[in-house]
Amino acid sequence: MRIIKVSATESTNILAREWYHLNRNTAPVCIHAFEQTLGRGQRGASWISNAGENLTFSVLYPKPKVKIQDQFILSAGIGLAILLGLKELKINNLKLKWPNDIMAANLKIGGILIENILNNGSIGTTIIGIGVNINQISFPGLPKASSLKLVSGRTFEIAHVLDVILKNIERIMQNFSEGNEDDILAKYEEKLFRKNKVSTFQLPDDSFLTGIIKGITSTGLLKVEVEDGIIRIFDLKELKLLF
């Protein structure tokens, strides 16, 4: 996969979208930024990253073999690909926090933001934005953030981490054509952060709910067991996991 390196950009996802509009027939391409100034996460959260210490990049992948109703399966597959890459780098205790945070040793080390460009009722192109904390060791005001260096005690070459993760992303994107959506979802659930553990959630009205994460639907909704063994289904905007 071609890698385009830039010194700084507001967002690699924005840059990838601009590349798409200028190169509609592009092959898969990765845009890697030394510094990202306005990175975004889920719920409109910002992604703060020290220049040169972390990995911020986007993959522009045209015509993914993913059905429009399987957009969460795409996100789950990318999360698993990142975990496989980090496992190759001997990072332990890896989990995926619903819907798309990368966890190590119960701390957040990365995240994914996927934006799909639809075309005639199908996914024409997907833009996969990824941020992974690599060598940063201080996260003021973010007690639940960490990095590969903090969890492993080692310093990493960022370009090598990128190569390892890209290899696994390319592999998972090719495997989507094999109709293995159920397998991807099952593997995602195996890595689901706090599955089968009593957890506390915050609801939109700022009240709290105690429950046990039991799994995920094929469309990415969270299954939570509440009182009396009742399973409730939640969308991303309906609750926030506190940990």
Q: Is the pLDDT of residue 95 over 90?
A: yes
The residue type of 162 is L
Mean per-residue pLDDT, 173-184: 83
User: What is the tens place of the pLDDT at every residue in 14-31?
Assistant: 999 999 999 888 899 999
Q: Residue 94 pLDDT > 70, yes or no?
A: yes
Instruction: Enumerate domains of the chain plus CATH numbers.
Output: 2-190 (3.30.930.10), 198-242 (2.30.30)
For the chain, what percent of residues have pLDDT higher than 90?
Answer: 81
pLDDT band of residue 134 (cuts 50, 70, 90) is very high
Of the candidates 72, 84, 86, 173, the one whose C-alpha atom is nearest the C-alpha of residue 114 is: 72
Half-sphere exposure of 15 (CA within 13 A, CB side): 25
HEC per residue, 51-97: CCCCEEEEEEEECCCCCHHHHHHHHHHHHHHHHHHHHHCCCCCEEEE
The reported pLDDT for the residue numbered 46 is 54
- What's the confidence (pLDDT) of residue 49? 73
Q: Are 118 and 139 in contact (CB under 8 A)?
A: no
Q: Would the pLDDT of 186 be above 70?
A: yes
- What's the confidence (pLDDT) of residue 39? 58
Distance in angstroms (rounded) separating the CA atoms of residues 83 and 6: 25
pLDDT given for residue 179 in this prediction: 72
Residue 185 binned pLDDT confidence (cut-offs 50, 70, 90): very high
Provide the pLDDT for residue 45: 54
Q: What mean pLDDT comes out for the span 51-56? A: 93
CA distance 27 to 230: 47
